[in-house]
């Protein structure tokens, strides 16, 4: 089995959650695998990340370079090509960075590339058996990937549960010297953060969506609190927009936005045809409604008969508790 | 600025019900309607707007068969100046790299200033743009939702990153960009426009015309292959959660974490 | 005219004889007028053609009714009455005006008059005519200045108010009446003073009053008054004549033509180009109206003919809910554009796009084509065809709102705006609850059904509206109709595709449906969807007779085939009101059949809304309008539900699935759930039909959840 590398994303000196997920995924490829973490960056933040990774990874390759202070995939790709041994398997998160980095990386490494992998069934000789989704998640497909000359795999966030193992106590290897001046045809300028309220619900993976059951404008805050606790955004059905409790940009429906979240909490939404028309892919739909006969329960995955004005605050508290525990 | 847009003909998810076929090894394709991949359509609109501002032509290309001509016509009805079909039996069964290889062969003979693709198509792979750029050694940027032409040599592009943040970069021409939906408001292509281009001749180029090595593309060369389609076993209707509201909340959190919506 | 007092032609004005002065004035005036009219007509000569010369007898009949008979005016009782008086006065005074003018150029002219009493009556009518017109001017000016009716207001975004111009014109007409009356009065006073026979002046008319007032004035002063008032009269007359084409008063001249050439066929939409058949359309370079010259000459004539009365906008539901559409200003802005770009003085400069110039896209997409404006306009000015033409231009340029694009694309791929698969179009006939109650045949070739039930898209696919289709099918079954549906072979009727400007897609849908209908061999068509009804009746050609289900039910109630169960207990608390759908009511004038059906149901208490029948208030629009995201302050449906509540009703009955969508939505949005419900006529009838075995509709307590 080829050597497995995991590309680690990080922010503020802390590795992203994907780091643990990639480690777990590596074990799915090869139960005995000891993946190597690869981290690029600069300065003390990079050092802190590498230090933290020692618990999960036996070997952590650190690539420090001033030009990599901001993760520019074009530069990082060049760096990786310099250090990665031929035939390696590289795991990366399927996110805005992985989409930017990996396809080109696979070409430069002359390796296979599989995107947005949701499950790894195992290896079979020089093939990996993987699972992906297509058509916005409506169907899944088994994929065979020839890894004889290596592979780059982008893994879906949240699809691989981090393993509960004792700290590995790995060591950090500084590979910075192998990466000299990096130059690319794309240069990072700055990051603009949108104004508060500028939420694009079509890009949100988790939505707390409210309907008429929210009953009045002041209650919208209840949904917002839950969304904040969950790291989600609040969307709504048309009556809420018409009542001017939320802006039009939050509306899900045939005359509103089309959303493709992973999880959709339909709170106090009856599930009209026009509203559901805005929900694409196969989100995990949780329906919370006072009315047990609301049509939403026919399309939801999970149903809860409850008054959202009472249940949502409870749920919010529970989520907050959970988050306190996990961090 | 001469712009090339790589487009793909896909079953439109909003007008189709994607279901497994009876054999359970593919999706039911009998009743599918196809159209140009939505992100590619945004890319063509963007190309048209840039060409309007800077002068130049927009060419749309696709790798496929005669069936795929219809999307080329649609994009020409939208305003693209010309289109090309890259078609050859040798290309059948290509994986992403194979497609990119064919496109690379096409591009190499033509000096396009800018190449656009949609960020992803129905298979969600989001790969061809990045692969094409690497094969050509052009700079690349994905998830682009705004383009500003700085001069004949550079663009300023915005990438859409997590949390709705906008990552601004400068990128040298010629380059490849993969375009995110919502970058603009594509103009409507009416039936009349489509009828008017119905009889326009669309050049078709094969492996020999492009100088593509048949061994580098097609099924045999593909390293990634789909074995089948399937639908993971689902429960029936909504699973109604019962118990005290506290118990329900706990169970719900568990379920959401499993789905990757809570971390 | 009496002898004794010299005619103004014979009088002198300074160095000039009256005859010369007035001949010159009149020639100048006429020449000016002719030139102005010629310049005004210039754009019409270069405009698109419009076939309006057919059916002359019908047109003449309508001229009599709407122009001469002022048929629409009493819809606004007070203003209408005033206008009828003014109009009658103008007509009456026309002959006198003519003869008055002759007096200035011919010294020896004698009005071919009527002898004796007939002459007196004729003169009297003229005298009162002038008086009444004068009084009406005063009343009109007072209305404008003091009472300020809301519909005359000009919202800031449309520029400055029109009041000053209105008062100016009213004043000029008043001056004309006064000048004429002073002239007659002074002449009679002179005659009296000189002991000549005094011409007849009607008692208490303006001329009469002036005569009596002037009796004490000296003859020379009278003579001056006489000549001066005549001069004022002529100058005012010709000034008005030449000024009218610069404003709303042009309708005085153009109204006759506007009404004569008005559109005859309700519910239709003009072709893309008159005289260009469908198969020749490929050669047309540009569809629709993009610049001013793309309008037809009749539409340009409409712009000239608008009297700025505001009745259209006053009844426009889009305007009422704050959408950026005001029909009145659609016309006034175009008129001002014409005045500016085709000026009387100077050369024409044209070709600027209208959208983005005088019109905004939202303005044009906001129209639901309800037809309230056209129903109201006393000059029969057309709006829907213009809006459709403007939309055709927008579609041609690819300038279509995203949500509409999505629906159009779905219609193109799947034959319905929801993007649902064609093969599922008849699934509504196979639901668990419905199937046992009624068997619906899907026609396949000519397999022996006489009647086609044309379902159309919303009733086929919308979960809520399917129950309307099911109710209709059960009713057809119960009355023994041998009917069937086209099923997957049916595509969207295209009614609103056409009215949203996508003519080519509409033609494809129409041709497809025509073929399917012909292949089925049916002899008549019935539908529960007024949009489909209108399309089949007016947009499609060569079809067997088409009916709306309410007409069929009404007929079968009368024939006795439909009998109703006795009153129910809950009827005690229910008050029903019928909402006229635009495309059943106003566009096709089916008002009574649904009402007769309701009144035949035992226990049903019915009230009427103030705005009913041809004044019905649009629910918000159907077809593609359901996909449009308008800028508005309120939803039309909400206003309509409030109207129903004001009328004392708690159940709204409608006969259109789109009305049902909008009204049920509005009930929820306005928080009236529990206080107001809505039901379709077919559903209500289905639920009350006396049957041997009760249908599930009767067993079910509540309407379907939305």
How far apart (Å, rounded) are the C-alpha atoms in residues C586 and C607?
Answer: 19
How far apart (Å, rounded) are the C-alpha atoms in residues C475 and C552?
Answer: 10
How far apart (Å, rounded) are the C-alpha atoms in residues C475 and C203?
Answer: 68
Q: Which domains does chain A have, with CATH numbers?
A: 4-178 (3.40.50.620), 201-326 (3.40.50.1220)
- Flag if B191 and C412 touch (Cβ within 8 Å): yes
State the pLDDT at residue C197.
Answer: 81
User: How many Cβ atoms are within 10 Å of A112's Cβ, its own excluded?
Assistant: 24
Is residue B247 in a domain?
A: no
- In terms of C-beta distances under 8 Å and separation of at least 24 residues, what long-range contacts does A289-292 make, across chains too? A289/A213, A290/A213, A291/C705
Take residue B66 and report the two structure tokens written for it: 């005669």
- Flag if B188 and C399 touch (Cβ within 8 Å): yes
How far apart (Å, rounded) are the C-alpha atoms in residues C195 and C186?
Answer: 14
- Flag if A142 and B230 touch (Cβ within 8 Å): yes
| Closest among C322, C296, C501 to C404, alpha carbons compared | C501
Residue B59 · residue B83 · CB < 8 Å: yes
Residues 6+ apart with CB under 8 A from A221: none
Starting at the edge strand found earlier in the chain, the sheet holding A127-134 runs: A171-174, A59-64, A36-41, A4-7, A89-93, A151-155, A112-124, A127-134, A139-146, B224-230
Question: Within 13 Å, how many C-alpha atoms sit on residue C219's CB side?
Answer: 7
pLDDT tens for B161-212 read 865 578 999 999 999 999 988 899 999 999 999 999 999 999 999 999 999 9
State the pLDDT at residue C701.
Answer: 46
pLDDT tens for A256-291 read 777 889 999 999 998 775 687 778 777 899 999 988
Q: Is the pLDDT of residue A5 over 80?
A: yes
Chain Cα centroid distance, residue C529 = 23
Q: What is the count of residue pairs from B and C with beta carbons less than 8 Å apart?
A: 57
Q: Is the pLDDT of residue A132 over 90?
A: yes
How far apart (Å, rounded) are the C-alpha atoms in residues A147 and A145?
Answer: 6
Min distance B200 CA to chain A CA atoms (Å): 32
Min distance A289 CA to chain C CA atoms (Å): 14
* Mean pLDDT of the A194-220 span: 81
Residues 6+ apart with CB under 8 A from C358: C333, C334, C336, C337
| Closest among B14, B13, B9 to B74, alpha carbons compared | B9
Q: Is the pLDDT of residue B234 over 80?
A: no
Strand pairing report for A112-124 and A14-15 = unpaired
Min distance A222 CA to chain B CA atoms (Å): 15
Residue C98 · residue C48 · CB < 8 Å: no
State the pLDDT at residue C123.
Answer: 86
How far apart (Å, rounded) are the C-alpha atoms in residues A111 and A128?
Answer: 13
Choose among C403, C668, C669: nearest Cβ to A255: C403
Q: In terms of pLDDT, which residue wins out, C444 or C478?
A: C478
Take residue B214 and report the two structure tokens written for it: 């048949």
Q: What is the dihedral of CA C235, C240, C242, C245, to 10 degrees?
A: 180
Q: Is the pLDDT of residue C703 over 60?
A: no
Q: Is the pLDDT of residue A255 over 70?
A: no
How long a stretch of residues is chain B? 263
Residue C310 · residue C328 · CB < 8 Å: yes
State the pLDDT at residue B111.
Answer: 83
Helix C18-45 vs helix C297-305: crossing angle, to nearest 10: 130
How far apart (Å, rounded) are the C-alpha atoms in residues C467 and C695?
Answer: 13
Q: What is the mean pLDDT of chain C?
A: 93
How far apart (Å, rounded) are the C-alpha atoms in residues B161 and B144?
Answer: 10
Lowest-confidence pick of B183-192, B194-203, C4-13, C355-364: C4-13
Q: In terms of pLDDT, which residue wins out, B237 or A225?
A: A225
How far apart (Å, rounded) are the C-alpha atoms in residues C589 and C569?
Answer: 34
Rounded to 5°, the CA angle C78-C83-C86 comes to 135
Could you check whether the bond before residue B171 is cis, i.e. omega within 30 degrees of 0?
Answer: no
State the pLDDT at residue B260.
Answer: 81
Lowest-confidence pick of A233-247, B223-237, C372-386, C661-675: B223-237
Lowest-confidence pick of A38-52, A149-163, C426-440, C545-559: A149-163
pLDDT band with cut points at 50, 70 and 90 for residue C110: low
State the pLDDT at residue B257.
Answer: 87
Q: Does B189 lie at the interface with C, CB-CB under 8 angstroms?
A: yes
pLDDT band with cut points at 50, 70 and 90 for residue C557: very high
State the pLDDT at residue B212.
Answer: 94
Domain count along chain B: 1
The percentage of residues in chain C with a pLDDT greater than 90, rounded to a whole number, is: 81
Question: Within 13 Å, how many C-alpha atoms sit on residue C280's CB side?
Answer: 7
3 state DSSP class of C183? helix
Three-state DSSP string of C275-318: CCCHHHHHHCCCCCCCEHHHCEHHHHHHHHHCCCCCHHHHHCHH
- Flag if C669 and A242 touch (Cβ within 8 Å): yes
State the pLDDT at residue B235.
Answer: 42
Is residue B176 in a domain?
A: yes
Global ipTM: 0.89
- Flag if A103 and B96 touch (Cβ within 8 Å): yes
Take residue B263 and report the two structure tokens written for it: 């971390």
CA distances to A106, A150, B121, C286 from C351, rounded to whole Å, are 56, 64, 42, 14
Q: Is the pLDDT of residue A134 over 50?
A: yes
State the pLDDT at residue C348.
Answer: 86
Strand pairing report for A233-236 and A206-210 = parallel
Question: Within 13 Å, how many C-alpha atoms sit on residue C526's CB side?
Answer: 21
| Closest among A175, A183, A209 to A84, alpha carbons compared | A175
C-interface mutation test, from B78, B192, B193, B194, most C Cβ less than 10 A away:
B192
- In terms of C-beta distances under 8 Å and separation of at least 24 residues, what long-range contacts does C151-159 make, across chains too? C151/C309, C151/C310, C151/C311, C151/C313, C151/C314, C152/C308, C152/C310, C155/C326, C158/C326, C158/C329, C158/C332, C158/C333
CA distances to A45, B11, B239 from B23, rounded to whole Å, are 53, 20, 28
Residues 6+ apart with CB under 8 A from C232: C175, C179
State the pLDDT at residue C696.
Answer: 60
Take residue B2 and report the two structure tokens written for it: 């001469």
Q: Does A121 lie at the interface with B, CB-CB under 8 angstroms?
A: no
Residue with tokens 């007196």: C120
Cβ-Cβ contacts under 8 Å, A233 against chain B: none
pLDDT tens for A9-61 read 999 999 988 899 999 999 999 999 899 999 999 999 999 999 999 999 999 99
Choose among B16, B189, B192: nearest Cβ to C287: B192
Is residue B233 in a domain?
A: no
- Flag if A254 and C628 touch (Cβ within 8 Å): no
CA distances to C159, C228, C296, C297, C303 from C274, rounded to whole Å, are 35, 53, 9, 12, 19
Q: Does B248 lie at the interface with A, CB-CB under 8 angstroms?
A: yes
pLDDT band with cut points at 50, 70 and 90 for residue C631: confident
Q: In terms of pLDDT, which residue wins out, C692 or C100?
A: C100
- Flag if B189 and C503 touch (Cβ within 8 Å): no
Q: Which domain holds residue B120?
A: 3-221
Shortest CA distance from A307: residue in chain B: B245
Q: Is the pLDDT of residue C111 over 80?
A: no
The percentage of residues in chain C with a pLDDT greater than 70, rounded to a whole number, is: 96
Residue with tokens 């300028």: A189
State the pLDDT at residue C1.
Answer: 38
How far apart (Å, rounded) are the C-alpha atoms in residues C636 and C657?
Answer: 16
Backbone angles phi, psi at A235, to 5 degrees: -125, 180
pLDDT tens for C278-323 read 999 999 999 999 999 999 999 999 999 999 999 999 999 999 999 9
Q: Which string of b and e fits B189-215 if b means at least 16 CB within 10 Å?
A: bbbbbbeebeeeebeebebeebebeee
pLDDT band with cut points at 50, 70 and 90 for residue C109: low
Host H or E run for residue A92: strand A89-93
- Flag if C462 and A294 touch (Cβ within 8 Å): no
State the pLDDT at residue C570.
Answer: 87
User: How many Cβ atoms are within 10 Å of C554's Cβ, its own excluded?
Assistant: 22
Is residue B249 in a domain?
A: no
The H-assigned helical ranges of C194-291 are 206-214, 219-243, 251-260
3 state DSSP class of C679? strand
Take residue C292 and report the two structure tokens written for it: 């001013």
pLDDT tens for C585-615 read 999 999 999 999 999 999 999 999 999 999 9
Is residue B11 in a domain?
A: yes
How far apart (Å, rounded) are the C-alpha atoms in residues A55 and C278?
Answer: 75
* Mean pLDDT of the C324-342 span: 96
Strand pairing report for A302-305 and A284-289 = parallel
- A contact chains, 3+ CB pairs < 8 A: B, C
Host H or E run for residue A234: strand A233-236
Residues 6+ apart with CB under 8 A from C674: none
How far apart (Å, rounded) are the C-alpha atoms in residues C337 and C349?
Answer: 10
Interface of B with C in 63-102 (CB under 8 A): 78-79
pLDDT tens for C465-496 read 999 999 999 999 999 999 999 999 999 999 99
- C contact chains, 3+ CB pairs < 8 A: A, B
Choose among C402, C413, C505: nearest Cβ to B12: C413
Interface of A with B in 231-290 (CB under 8 A): 231-232, 258, 261-263, 280, 284-287
Host H or E run for residue C596: helix C592-600
Interface of C with A in 616-635 (CB under 8 A): 626-629, 635
pLDDT tens for A161-205 read 888 888 989 999 999 999 988 999 999 999 997 654 568 888 899
Strand partners, C483: C451
Q: Is the pLDDT of residue C355 over 60?
A: yes
- Flag if A297 and B97 touch (Cβ within 8 Å): no
3 state DSSP class of A191? strand
Q: For residue B183, give the CATH number of its domain.
A: 3.40.50.620
Take residue C25 and report the two structure tokens written for it: 């004035």
């Amino acid at each position: 089995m080829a050597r497995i590398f995991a590309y680690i994303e990080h922010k503020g000196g802390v590795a992203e959650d994907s780091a643990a997920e990639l480690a777990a995924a590596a074990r799915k490829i090869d139960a005995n695998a000891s993946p190597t973490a690869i981290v690029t960056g600069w300065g003390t933040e990079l050092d802190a990340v590498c230090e933290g990774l020692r618990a999960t990874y036996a070997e952590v390759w650190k690539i420090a370079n001033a030009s990599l202070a901001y993760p520019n995939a074009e530069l990082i790709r060049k760096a990786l090509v310099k250090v990665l041994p031929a035939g390696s398997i590289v795991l990366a998160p399927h996110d805005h960075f992985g989409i930017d980095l990996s396809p080109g990386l696979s070409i430069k490494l002359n390796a296979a590339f599989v995107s947005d992998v949701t499950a790894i069934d195992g290896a079979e000789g020089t093939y990996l058996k993987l699972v992906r989704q297509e058509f916005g998640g409506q169907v899944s497909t088994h994929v065979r990937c020839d890894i004889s000359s290596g592979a780059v795999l982008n893994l879906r966030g949240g699809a691989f549960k981090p393993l509960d193992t004792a700290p590995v106590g790995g060591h950090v290897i500084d590979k910075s010297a192998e990466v000299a001046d990096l130059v690319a045809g794309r240069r990072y300028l700055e990051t603009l953060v949108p104004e508060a309220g500028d939420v694009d619900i079509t890009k949100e993976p988790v939505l707390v969506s409210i309907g008429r059951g929210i009953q009045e404008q002041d209650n919208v805050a209840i949904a917002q609190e839950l969304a904040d606790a969950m790291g989600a955004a609040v969307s709504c059905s048309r009556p809420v927009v018409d009542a001017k409790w939320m802006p039009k940009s939050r509306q899900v429906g045939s005359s509103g936005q089309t959303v493709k979240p992973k999880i959709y909490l339909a709170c106090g939404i009856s599930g009209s045809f026009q509203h559901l028309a805005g929900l694409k892919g196969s989100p995990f739909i949780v329906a919370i409604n006072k009315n047990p006969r609301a049509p939403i329960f026919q399309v939801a995955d999970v149903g809860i008969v409850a008054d959202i004005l009472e249940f949502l605050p409870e749920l919010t508290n529970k989520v907050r508790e959970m988050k306190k525990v996990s961090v | 600025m001469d712009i090339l847009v790589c487009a793909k003909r896909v079953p439109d998810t909003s007008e189709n019900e994607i279901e497994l076929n009876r054999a359970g090894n593919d999706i039911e394709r009998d009743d599918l309607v196809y159209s140009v991949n939505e992100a590619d359509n945004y890319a063509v609109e963007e190309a048209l707007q840039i060409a309007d501002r800077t002068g130049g032509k927009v060419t749309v290309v696709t790798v496929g068969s005669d069936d795929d001509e219809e999307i080329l016509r649609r994009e020409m009805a939208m305003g693209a100046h010309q289109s090309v079909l890259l078609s050859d039996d040798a290309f059948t069964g290509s994986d992403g790299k194979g497609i990119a290889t064919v496109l690379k062969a096409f591009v190499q003979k033509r000096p396009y200033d800018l190449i656009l693709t949609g960020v992803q198509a129905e298979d969600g792979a989001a790969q061809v743009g990045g692969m094409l750029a690497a094969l050509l050694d052009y700079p690349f940027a994905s998830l682009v939702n705004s383009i500003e032409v700085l001069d004949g040599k550079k663009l300023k592009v915005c990438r859409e990153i997590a949390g709705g943040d906008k990552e601004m970069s400068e990128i040298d021409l010629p380059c490849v960009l993969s375009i995110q939906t919502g970058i603009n408001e594509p103009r409507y292509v009416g039936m009349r426009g489509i009828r008017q281009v119905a009889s326009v001749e669309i050049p078709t180029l094969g492996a020999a015309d492009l100088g593509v090595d048949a061994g580098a593309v097609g099924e045999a060369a593909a390293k990634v292959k789909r074995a089948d389609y399937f639908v993971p076993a689902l429960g029936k209707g909504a699973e109604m959660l019962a118990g005290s509201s506290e118990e329900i909340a706990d169970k719900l959190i568990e379920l959401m974490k499993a789905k990757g919506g809570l971390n | 005219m009496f002898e004794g007092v010299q005619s103004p032609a014979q009088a002198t004005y300074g160095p000039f004889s009256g005859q010369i002065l007035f001949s010159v004035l009149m020639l100048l005036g006429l020449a000016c007028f002719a030139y102005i009219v010629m310049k005004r007509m210039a754009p019409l000569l270069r405009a698109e053609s419009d076939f309006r010369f057919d059916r002359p007898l019908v047109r003449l009949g309508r001229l009599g009714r709407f122009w001469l008979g002022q048929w629409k005016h009493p819809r606004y009782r007070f203003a209408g009455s005033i206008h009828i008086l003014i109009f009658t006065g103008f007509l009456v005074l026309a002959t006198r005006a003519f003869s008055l003018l002759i007096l200035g150029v011919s010294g020896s002219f004698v009005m071919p008059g009527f002898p004796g009493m007939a002459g007196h009556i004729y003169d009297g009518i003229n005298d009162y005519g002038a008086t009444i017109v004068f009084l009406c001017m005063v009343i009109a000016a007072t209305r404008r200045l003091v009472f300020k009716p809301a519909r005359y207001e000009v919202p800031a975004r449309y520029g400055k108010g029109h009041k000053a111009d209105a008062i100016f014109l009213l004043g000029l007409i008043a001056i004309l009446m006064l000048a004429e009356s002073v002239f007659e009065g002074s002449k009679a006073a002179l005659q009296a003073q000189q002991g000549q026979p005094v011409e007849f002046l009607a008692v208490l008319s303006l001329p009469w009053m002036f005569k009596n007032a002037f009796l004490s004035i000296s003859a020379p002063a009278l003579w001056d008054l006489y000549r001066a008032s005549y001069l004022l009269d002529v100058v005012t007359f010709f000034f008005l004549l030449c000024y009218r084409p610069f404003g709303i008063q042009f309708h005085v001249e153009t109204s006759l033509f506007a009404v004569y050439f008005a559109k005859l066929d309700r519910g239709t939409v003009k072709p893309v180009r008159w005289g260009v058949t469908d198969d020749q359309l490929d050669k047309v370079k540009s569809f629709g109206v993009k610049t001013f010259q793309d309008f037809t000459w009749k539409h340009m004539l409409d712009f000239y003919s608008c009297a700025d009365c505001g009745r259209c906008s006053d009844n426009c539901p889009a305007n009422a809910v704050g959408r950026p559409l005001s029909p009145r200003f659609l016309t006034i802005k175009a008129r001002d554009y014409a005045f500016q770009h085709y000026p009387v003085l100077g050369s024409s400069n044209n070709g600027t796009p209208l959208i983005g110039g005088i019109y905004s896209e939202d303005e044009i997409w906001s129209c639901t084509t309800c037809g309230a404006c056209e129903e109201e306009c006393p000059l029969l000015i057309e709006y829907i065809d213009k809006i459709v033409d403007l939309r055709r231009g927008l579609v041609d340029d690819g300038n279509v709102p995203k949500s509409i694009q999505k629906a159009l694309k779905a219609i193109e791929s799947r034959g319905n705006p929801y993007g649902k698969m064609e093969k599922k179009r008849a699934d509504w006939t196979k639901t668990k609850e419905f199937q046992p109650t009624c068997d619906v045949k899907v026609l396949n070739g000519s397999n022996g059904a006489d009647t086609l039930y044309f379902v159309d898209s919303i009733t086929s696919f919308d979960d809520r509206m399917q129950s309307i289709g099911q109710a209709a099918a059960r009713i057809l079954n119960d009355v023994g109709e041998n009917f069937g549906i086209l099923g997957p072979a049916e595509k969207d009727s295209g009614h609103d595709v056409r009215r949203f400007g996508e003519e080519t897609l509409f033609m494809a849908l129409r041709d497809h449906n025509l073929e399917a209908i012909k292949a089925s061999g049916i002899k008549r068509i019935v539908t529960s969807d007024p949009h489909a009804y209108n399309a089949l009746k007016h947009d499609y050609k060569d079809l067997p007779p088409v009916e709306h289900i309410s007409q069929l039910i009404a007929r079968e109630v009368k024939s006795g085939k439909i009998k109703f169960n006795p009153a129910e207990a809950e009827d005690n608390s229910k008050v029903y009101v019928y909402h006229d759908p635009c495309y059943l009511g106003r566009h096709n004038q089916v008002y009574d059949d649904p009402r007769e059906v309701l009144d035949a149901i035992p226990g049903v208490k019915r009230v009427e809304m103030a705005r009913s029948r041809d004044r019905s208030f649009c629910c918000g629009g159907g077809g593609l309008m359901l996909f449009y995201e308008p800028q508005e302050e309120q939803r039309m449906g909400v206003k309509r539900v409030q109207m129903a509540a004001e009328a004392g009703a708690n159940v709204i009955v409608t006969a259109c699935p789109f009305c049902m969508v909008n009204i049920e939505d509005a009930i929820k949005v306005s928080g009236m759930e529990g206080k107001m419900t809505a039901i379709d006529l077919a559903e209500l009838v289905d639920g009350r039909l006396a049957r041997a075995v009760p249908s599930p509709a009767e067993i079910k307590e509540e309407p379907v959840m939305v």
